[in-house]
Amino acid sequence: MRIGVDVGGTNTDAVIMEGSRVLASAKRPTTEDVAGGMVAAIRAVLDDSQVPVSDIHSVMVGTTQFINAFVERKHLSEVAIIRIALPLSEGIPPLVDWPDDLRAAIGEHIYMVGGGCYYTGAEYMPLDEEALVKAARDIRDKGLEAVAITSIFAPIRQDYEERAAAIIREYAPDVAITQSNQVGSLNLVERENAAVINASLMRLSRQVIDSYRKSLAALDINGRLYVTQNDGTLMSAEAAEQNPVMTCSAGPTNSMRGAGFLSGLKEAVVIDIGGTTTDVGFLHHGFPRETTDANDIGGVRTNFSMPDVLSIGLGGGSIVAGDAEVTVGPASVGYRILQEARIFGGSTLTATDIAVASGQADIGDASAVSTLPSELVENALSDMHSKIETALDRMKTSARAVPAVLVGGGHVLVSRSLKGVSELHRPEHASVANAIGAAIGQVGARIKRIVEYGDSGRDEVIRQVSEEVKRDVVEAGGIPETVKVVEIEEMQMTYLQANAVSLKIRAIGDLATGD
């Protein structure tokens, strides 16, 4: 038995599953303290299913709390930023393109240190340990709590960052350290940005994960706690405390994974309509298609793995405005829909009210919207469908019609066929697909590095890296016999003199359930 939970901006969803069977599901308003909504949703599925808490082996949670805090500039720690690259990269210092308010929030504690290697791993300068000792003492004297360490080509050689972390801990043993090789891939500045974001969130992550543990304790659940990552796989609660930035797209990812599971489709577009936004993304081999562009998080460019998702301001709580020219969203009543929507006794006309008035949803008090002009209802429906069709068109890579899966609590907003969609699926339990996506999470790992096939040959290099990434999955808790490579991506590095290739290999496996 396992429980999946997704903490959204409007609702907190929970499901309890046995194998591939959903035993119970629940949707409760997200509370300001988050823990309250989580406890209420889990208690509801336990009561509904009558499953003893002693049978719950694990709880998987998807959350966007950490990235929301960064975007809102709340609860951030000041960060000591150590870059190991001199004499290279001095012309583009850390934080050079960060918004002013973020620079002020995390401080400008920057330490440039000598040392580094080329993309081949060959050293061009040894690590300047004296400079690191000086930085460590300054970090200790300033009382800083978080450190982000970045070295040039760290995904190829991690030893520079590992040695730097060891030196920092000698002088400031209580600081939280993020190494860029653990959160980002190639490209120094974007990887450094990801490391700094992660470091700024580590204090908050410990507080949030601790609140999750207390929530489960309040329900007498002793099962293991996992947190979903951006790519749809799981990491332990302890790992999430160290790598909060890896959870920033867990919400859309969970919904897409849940949509694939419920529909049985491996290749499809997923339309996830929540209370505030609609997220549109593509499934590829059953997992979210990853973006190939640098990601903008709160105004900062990063390059860690994220799903390719387009979000628009349309959801069940979206406010309907206008008479002659009706528009729906992007303004929303959010988690207050149960108080403000007309069908629930409020005075605000929302997208959900339109769905009820048109007869495509049976929620709340339909008499409260029975007198709405039919022209207004039709124009609102047309605006909603038009917005979704435009989002679909922007995300598609060809004019060919594709299958689509509708999920999320707001899936009732769609009542007609959509342009560009060959077949529209609305599976059972669609409204809690995000929680199901969390519950079915697997363990995954990836390796991305620059290689030269050389005398070993392409097949042998790929085999060696594949075995390495499989071992990483097993170490993360995967069952060895279930681990398989699901993606191999090669890109010729034509701008380098040598015959270099950027190689990315990804593997997944089922989560081990033994004690």
Mean pLDDT of the region 445-455: 79
Rounded (10°) angle between helices 65-72 and 188-218: 120
Q: How does residue 162 score in pLDDT terms, banded at 50, 70 and 90?
A: very high
- Percentage above 90 pLDDT, the chain: 40
Would residue 503 count as lying in a domain?
yes
At position 315, the amino acid (one-letter code) is G
* Apex 143 CA angle, 64 and 114, nearest 5: 85
> Pick from 186, 201, 216: which residue ends a domain?
201
> Which residue range forms the structural domain that includes residue 473?
441-509
Q: How does residue 319 score in pLDDT terms, banded at 50, 70 and 90?
A: very high
Mean pLDDT of the region 133-154: 94
At position 188, the amino acid (one-letter code) is L
* Pairing mode, strands 176-179 and 146-151: parallel
| DSSP-derived secondary structure for 98-157 | S-HHHHHHH--EEEEEE-EE-TTS-EEE---HHHHHHHHHHHHHHT--EEEEEETTTTT-
For residue 444 the two structure tokens come to 């995954």
Kindly report the three-state secondary structure assignment for every residue of 140-152.
HHHCCCEEEEEEC
Mean pLDDT of the region 298-310: 77
Would residue 57 count as lying in a domain?
no
pLDDT surpassing 70 at residue 496: no
Q: How does residue 132 score in pLDDT terms, banded at 50, 70 and 90?
A: very high
Would residue 457 count as lying in a domain?
yes
Would residue 27 count as lying in a domain?
no
- Percentage above 70 pLDDT, the chain: 97
pLDDT surpassing 90 at residue 32: no
> Pick from 180, 201, 222: which residue ends a domain?
201
pLDDT surpassing 90 at residue 337: no
Mean pLDDT of the region 432-441: 89
When the pLDDT of each residue in the chain is averaged and rounded to a whole number, the result is 87
Q: How does residue 494 score in pLDDT terms, banded at 50, 70 and 90?
A: low
> Which domain CATH number covers 177?
3.40.50
What is the reported pLDDT for 380? Answer: 92
Q: How far is CA 495 from the centre of its chain?
A: 32
pLDDT surpassing 50 at residue 405: yes
* Pairing mode, strands 116-117 and 109-114: unpaired
Would residue 164 count as lying in a domain?
yes
Distance between CA atoms of residues 94 and 98, nearest Å: 9
Would residue 169 count as lying in a domain?
yes
Q: How does residue 292 score in pLDDT terms, banded at 50, 70 and 90?
A: low
- Which has more confidence, 184 or 89? 89
Find the largest Cα–Cα distance for the chain: 77
Would residue 133 count as lying in a domain?
yes
Mean pLDDT of the region 109-128: 89
Would residue 9 count as lying in a domain?
no
| pTM metric for this prediction | 0.79
pLDDT surpassing 70 at residue 150: yes
> Pick from 171, 201, 231: which residue ends a domain?
201
Q: Which has the minimum average pLDDT: 175-179, 413-417, 495-499?
A: 495-499
Q: How does residue 195 score in pLDDT terms, banded at 50, 70 and 90?
A: very high
Q: How does residue 515 score in pLDDT terms, banded at 50, 70 and 90?
A: very low
For residue 382 the two structure tokens come to 């047309």
* pLDDT per residue as tens digits for the range 246-276: 887 777 888 888 999 999 998 999 999 888 8
Mean pLDDT of the region 231-255: 83
Distance between CA atoms of residues 474 and 480, nearest Å: 6
Number of domains in the chain: 2
